[in-house]
């Protein structure tokens, strides 16, 4: 059989797998080391009690023939879609209906799977640095072109993000069919303003482009002047798909549940120039390749929209934002240039002496027994930076930052 050759173009190792490999090698060589993991953004707070109770009730449903649930709707159960539409959109004056919401097993899956509904020769634009799935999934589907000497890809448009532009991607002077934006940004923690999104929506309307808006971290935005949804911008429903997740807000990293919004007003064109509903294409894709998120998990997600669930999510976010604030203040005190950590769980740190990202990774591990994520793993423009997350426990966050602030090695 012939394989998909595009996989062979990719680097052998996914960023977080490489971090884990190097970390495991270090631990094997230094078994006494008390390494604090501030790299991968997994959460540490447990699932809310109301979610656990709802899932217990759902399990009981599955044990009774009269309430048993087999295959569910691929789009998601109406009880969860209705709750999302009412709470996350309509309560904020955004006209998104339940039938425009598709429940998934997490944002990462849909970010990769959306490539099924746009043409194979589409030009994709991504922020650099940005979440590796954006580029890797484009390459896997044949949209990357050839790998260049600097590690970039010939057919991808890179939107360079740096300290000068606040790590917020600017509209390019070239055409892109698909634009993938993330706000708050993973990895830099930057949050796009309404003016930023207005420019991007205008660009997409003018260029007939599709924006895929990754807002997995929108609940961390506490500044009321900053947008939490691209649909806060007039006209966005004609050009944008929005993706969200319960992973970081409610601790669903092990349960797997998120959702994607595809507005009814959003269309593309086929080879003959005829307008086609993207919602219908996505629905067809999901019905063919996805059997839906589990009933028990969706009942748990529904509980997040109760008063107890909302309070739990707010408390979780307060906790992680405080951790991020501790990291930001500590690294600034230690003399680093620091970005993010406000309205975002991610803190983006520049090396003091022009070190590469992997050099910084090694230094943090060797000197302080702290594991971080090398910025270059998020793109060429990320070299010289590392990412720390606020998702560890408060105890471990304080311990790690004390090591750095005291200048104490190990």
Task: For residue range 242-269, list pLDDT tens digits in order.
Answer: 999 999 999 999 999 999 999 999 999 9
In this prediction, residue 410 carries a pLDDT of 44
Q: Is the per-residue pLDDT at 194 higher than 60?
A: yes
Contact residues for 283 (Cβ-Cβ < 8 A; gap 6+): 74, 75, 102
- Calculate the alpha carbon distances from 308 to 29, 50, 54, 155, 304 in Å: 46, 7, 12, 47, 7
Q: What is the mean pLDDT of residues 375-388?
A: 96
- pLDDT (mean) for 328-348: 96
Backbone phi, psi, residue 41, to 5°: -85, 45
pLDDT at 331: 96
The H-assigned helical ranges of 254-337 are 278-289, 295-303, 307-333
Residue 193 CA neighbour count, 13 Å, CB half = 8
**Lowest-confidence segment of 17-26, 215-224, 335-344, 381-390 by average pLDDT:** 17-26
pLDDT tens for 88-130 read 999 999 999 999 999 999 999 999 999 999 999 999 999 999 9
Q: Which of 172, 146, 148 shows the shortest CA–CA distance to 158? A: 172
Sign of the Cα pseudo-torsion (378, 7, 253, 266, in order): positive
Determine the angle formed by the axes of helices 357-368 and 394-406, rounding to 10 degrees.
100
Residues 6+ away with beta carbon under 8 Å from 288: none
Chain centroid to Cα 12, Å, comes to: 22
Per-residue pLDDT at 40: 76
How does strand 240-245 pair with strand 156-160? unpaired
pLDDT in tens, 203-228: 999 999 999 999 999 999 999 999 99
Question: Residue 374 in 3-state DSSP?
Answer: strand
**pLDDT at residue 408, rounded to an integer:** 54
Q: What is the mean pLDDT of residues 279-290?
A: 97
Residue 136 CA to residue 353 CA, distance in Å, equals 30
Those residues with Cβ within 8 angstroms of residue 334's Cβ, 6 or more apart along the chain or in another chain: 404, 405, 407
pLDDT higher than 50, residue 34: yes
Closest Cα to residue 106, out of 89, 140, 131? 131
Q: Which residues of 340-364 are buried (b: 16+ CB within 10 A; e: fewer)?
A: bbbbbbbbbbbbeeebebbbbbebb
| Cβ pair 210, 180 in contact under 8 A | no
**CA-to-CA distance for 234 and 205, rounded, in angstroms?**
11
- What per-residue confidence (pLDDT) applies to 14? 73
| pLDDT at 20 (0 to 100) | 86
Round to whole Å and give the CA distance between 36 and 138.
Answer: 33
The C-alpha atoms of residue 292 and residue 181 are separated, in whole angstroms, by 25
- Provide CB contacts within 8 A for 332, sequence distance 6+: 338
**CB neighbour list of residue 28: distance below 8 Å, 6 or more residues apart:** none
CA distances for 270 relative to 85, 203, 265, 274, 285, angstroms: 30, 21, 16, 5, 16
- Could you tell me the pTM of the whole model? 0.95
Band (409; pLDDT cuts 50, 70, 90): very low
Per-residue pLDDT reduced to its tens digit, 295-337: 999 999 999 999 999 999 999 999 999 999 999 999 999 999 9
The mean pLDDT value for 162-191 works out to 98
b or e along 379-396 (b: 16 or more beta carbons within 10 Å of the residue's beta carbon)? bebbbbbbbbbbbbeeeb
- Integer Cα distance of 218 and 242 in angstroms: 11
Mean pLDDT for the chain overall: 95
**Domains detected in the chain:** 6-46+309-406 (3.90.1150.10), 70-305 (3.40.640.10)
């Amino acid at each position: 059989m012939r394989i998909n050759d595009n996989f062979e173009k990719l680097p052998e190792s996914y960023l977080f797998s490489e971090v884990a490999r190097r970390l495991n090698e270090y631990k094997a060589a230094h078994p006494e080391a008390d390494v604090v993991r501030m790299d991968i953004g997994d959460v540490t707070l447990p699932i809310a009690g109301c979610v656990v109770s709802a899932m217990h009730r759902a399990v009981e449903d599955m044990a009774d023939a009269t309430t048993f649930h087999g295959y569910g709707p691929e789009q998601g159960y109406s009880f969860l879609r209705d709750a999302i539409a009412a709470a996350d959109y309509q309560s904020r004056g955004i006209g998104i209906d339940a039938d425009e919401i598709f429940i998934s097993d997490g944002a990462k899956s849909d970010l990769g799977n959306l490539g099924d509904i746009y043409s194979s020769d589409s030009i994709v634009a991504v922020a650099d640095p940005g979440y590796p799935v954006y580029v890797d999934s484009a390459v896997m589907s044949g949209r990357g072109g050839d790998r260049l000497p600097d590690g970039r890809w010939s057919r991808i448009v890179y939107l360079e993000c740096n300290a000068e532009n606040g790590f917020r991607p600017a509209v390019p002077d070239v055409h892109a069919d698909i634009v993938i934006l993330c706000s708050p940004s993973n990895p830099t923690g930057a949050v796009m303003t309404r003016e930023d999104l207005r420019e991007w929506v205008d660009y997409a309307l003018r260029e007939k482009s599709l924006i895929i808006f990754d807002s997995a971290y929108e609940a961390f935005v506490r500044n009321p002047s900053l947008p939490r949804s691209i649909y806060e911008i007039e006209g966005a429903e004609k050009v944008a798909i929005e993706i969200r997740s319960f992973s970081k807000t409610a601790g669903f990293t092990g349960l797997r549940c998120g959702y994607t919004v595809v507005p009814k007003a959003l269309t593309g064109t086929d080879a003959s120039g005829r307008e086609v509903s993207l919602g219908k294409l996505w629905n067809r894709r999901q019905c063919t390749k996805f059997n839906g998120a589990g009933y028990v998990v969706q009942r748990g997600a529904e509980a997040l929209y109760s008063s107890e669930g909302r309070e739990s999510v707010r408390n979780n976010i307060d906790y992680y934002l405080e951790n991020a604030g501790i990291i930001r203040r500590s690294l600034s005190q230690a003399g680093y240039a620091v970005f993010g950590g406000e309205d975002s769980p991610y803190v983006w740190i520049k090396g003091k002496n022009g070190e590469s990202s992997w050099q910084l990774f090694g230094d943090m591990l060797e000197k302080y027994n702290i594991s971080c994520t090398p910025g270059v793993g998020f793109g060429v423009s990320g070299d010289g930076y590392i990412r720390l997350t606020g998702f560890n426990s408060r105890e471990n966050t304080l311990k790690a930052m004390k090591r750095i602030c005291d200048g104490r090695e190990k």
